[in-house]
Protein backbone atom coordinates (compact mmCIF):
# COMPACT_ATOMS: atom_id res chain seq x y z
CA UNK A 1 0.00 0.00 0.00
CA UNK A 2 2.82 2.39 0.92
CA UNK A 3 4.62 1.63 -2.37
CA UNK A 4 1.47 2.42 -4.31
CA UNK A 5 1.13 5.76 -2.48
CA UNK A 6 4.75 6.68 -3.23
CA UNK A 7 4.31 5.75 -6.89
CA UNK A 8 1.15 7.84 -7.10
CA UNK A 9 2.91 10.84 -5.50
CA UNK A 10 5.89 10.55 -7.85
CA UNK A 11 3.58 10.38 -10.85
CA UNK A 12 1.69 13.46 -9.66
CA UNK A 13 4.94 15.32 -9.08
CA UNK A 14 6.12 14.41 -12.58
CA UNK A 15 2.92 15.77 -14.11
CA UNK A 16 3.24 19.03 -12.17
CA UNK A 17 6.88 19.48 -13.11
CA UNK A 18 6.20 18.71 -16.76
CA UNK A 19 3.74 21.58 -16.87
CA UNK A 20 6.12 24.07 -15.25
CA UNK A 21 8.56 24.35 -18.13
CA UNK A 22 8.28 26.99 -20.78
CA UNK A 23 9.63 25.97 -24.16
CA UNK A 24 12.82 24.19 -23.18
CA UNK A 25 13.38 20.85 -21.49
CA UNK A 26 14.80 20.64 -18.00
CA UNK A 27 18.57 20.72 -18.28
CA UNK A 28 18.58 21.86 -21.92
CA UNK A 29 20.63 24.95 -21.06
CA UNK A 30 24.16 24.91 -19.67
CA UNK A 31 24.52 25.93 -16.02
CA UNK A 32 25.88 29.39 -16.89
CA UNK A 33 22.53 30.40 -18.39
CA UNK A 34 20.91 30.31 -14.94
CA UNK A 35 23.06 33.12 -13.47
CA UNK A 36 20.10 35.55 -13.41
CA UNK A 37 16.49 35.89 -14.48
CA UNK A 38 17.56 38.28 -17.25
CA UNK A 39 20.09 35.77 -18.51
CA UNK A 40 17.57 32.93 -18.58
CA UNK A 41 14.91 35.00 -20.35
CA UNK A 42 17.46 36.22 -22.89
CA UNK A 43 18.60 32.69 -23.74
CA UNK A 44 14.97 31.56 -24.00
CA UNK A 45 14.39 34.42 -26.44
CA UNK A 46 17.48 33.47 -28.45
CA UNK A 47 16.26 29.88 -28.76
CA UNK A 48 12.70 30.96 -29.59
CA UNK A 49 13.57 33.80 -32.00
CA UNK A 50 17.10 33.44 -33.39
CA UNK A 51 16.29 35.15 -36.71
CA UNK A 52 14.88 38.17 -34.86
CA UNK A 53 18.05 38.58 -32.77
CA UNK A 54 20.23 38.12 -35.88
CA UNK A 55 18.74 41.37 -37.17
CA UNK A 56 19.55 43.31 -34.00
CA UNK A 57 22.92 44.82 -33.05
CA UNK A 58 24.65 44.56 -29.70
CA UNK A 59 26.37 47.55 -28.12
CA UNK A 60 28.28 45.86 -25.28
CA UNK A 61 31.65 45.86 -27.04
CA UNK A 62 31.55 42.22 -28.16
CA UNK A 63 32.29 43.40 -31.68
CA UNK A 64 35.80 44.16 -30.38
CA UNK A 65 36.26 41.85 -27.40
CA UNK A 66 34.73 38.54 -28.52
CA UNK A 67 36.80 36.07 -30.50
CA UNK A 68 35.57 35.90 -33.17
CA UNK A 69 33.81 39.29 -33.01
CA UNK A 70 30.04 39.01 -32.71
CA UNK A 71 28.09 40.10 -35.78
CA UNK A 72 24.69 40.51 -34.11
CA UNK A 73 22.84 40.15 -30.81
CA UNK A 74 22.05 36.47 -31.37
CA UNK A 75 25.75 35.62 -31.26
CA UNK A 76 25.91 36.92 -27.66
CA UNK A 77 23.75 33.89 -26.76
CA UNK A 78 24.19 31.32 -29.53
CA UNK A 79 27.42 30.75 -31.44
CA UNK A 80 27.36 30.49 -35.25
CA UNK A 81 27.84 26.71 -34.90
CA UNK A 82 24.67 26.46 -32.76
CA UNK A 83 26.31 25.94 -29.36
CA UNK A 84 25.44 28.25 -26.49
CA UNK A 85 27.71 31.28 -26.05
CA UNK A 86 28.60 32.04 -22.42
CA UNK A 87 29.06 35.77 -23.05
CA UNK A 88 25.34 36.61 -22.79
CA UNK A 89 25.11 35.10 -19.32
CA UNK A 90 27.82 37.35 -17.93
CA UNK A 91 26.97 40.58 -19.76
CA UNK A 92 23.96 42.43 -18.35
CA UNK A 93 23.86 44.80 -21.31
CA UNK A 94 23.28 41.99 -23.82
CA UNK A 95 20.30 40.80 -21.80
CA UNK A 96 18.84 44.30 -21.48
CA UNK A 97 19.15 44.90 -25.22
CA UNK A 98 17.54 41.55 -26.06
CA UNK A 99 14.64 42.01 -23.65
CA UNK A 100 14.05 45.61 -24.80
CA UNK A 101 13.95 44.45 -28.41
CA UNK A 102 11.45 41.71 -27.56
CA UNK A 103 9.25 44.08 -25.52
CA UNK A 104 9.10 46.55 -28.41
CA UNK A 105 8.32 43.77 -30.86
CA UNK A 106 5.47 42.63 -28.60
CA UNK A 107 4.17 46.22 -28.64
CA UNK A 108 3.75 45.78 -32.39
CA UNK A 109 6.76 47.69 -33.67
CA UNK A 110 8.23 46.56 -36.98
CA UNK A 111 11.75 45.13 -37.14
CA UNK A 112 12.97 48.43 -38.55
CA UNK A 113 11.32 50.38 -35.70
CA UNK A 114 12.76 48.04 -33.06
CA UNK A 115 16.19 48.45 -34.59
CA UNK A 116 15.84 52.24 -34.64
CA UNK A 117 14.86 52.27 -30.95
CA UNK A 118 17.82 50.07 -30.04
CA UNK A 119 20.16 52.34 -31.98
CA UNK A 120 18.76 55.44 -30.27
CA UNK A 121 18.81 53.99 -26.76
CA UNK A 122 22.14 52.16 -26.79
CA UNK A 123 24.38 54.08 -29.24
CA UNK A 124 26.10 55.89 -26.35
CA UNK A 125 27.46 52.55 -25.08
CA UNK A 126 29.88 52.21 -27.97
CA UNK A 127 30.35 50.67 -31.37
CA UNK A 128 27.59 48.24 -32.33
CA UNK A 129 28.10 44.88 -33.94
CA UNK A 130 28.37 44.93 -37.73
CA UNK A 131 24.74 43.91 -38.15
CA UNK A 132 23.41 44.74 -41.64
CA UNK A 133 20.65 47.38 -41.76
CA UNK A 134 17.04 46.27 -42.06
CA UNK A 135 15.60 47.08 -45.48
In tens, the pLDDT along 8-30 reads: 444 443 433 333 334 444 458 99
Domain extent, residue 82, equals: 29-125
CB contact at 8 A, 48 and 28: no
Q: How many domains does the chain have?
A: 1
What pLDDT does 14 receive?
42
What pLDDT does 1 receive?
57
Is 21 within a domain? no
Is 39 within a domain? yes
Is 9 within a domain? no
Is 130 within a domain? no
Is 133 within a domain? no
What pLDDT does 67 receive?
83
What pLDDT does 27 receive?
53
Amino acid sequence: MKERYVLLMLTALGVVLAGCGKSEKVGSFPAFVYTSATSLESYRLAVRSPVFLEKMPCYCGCVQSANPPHRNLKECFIKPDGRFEEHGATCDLCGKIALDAEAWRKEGLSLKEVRARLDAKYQEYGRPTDTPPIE
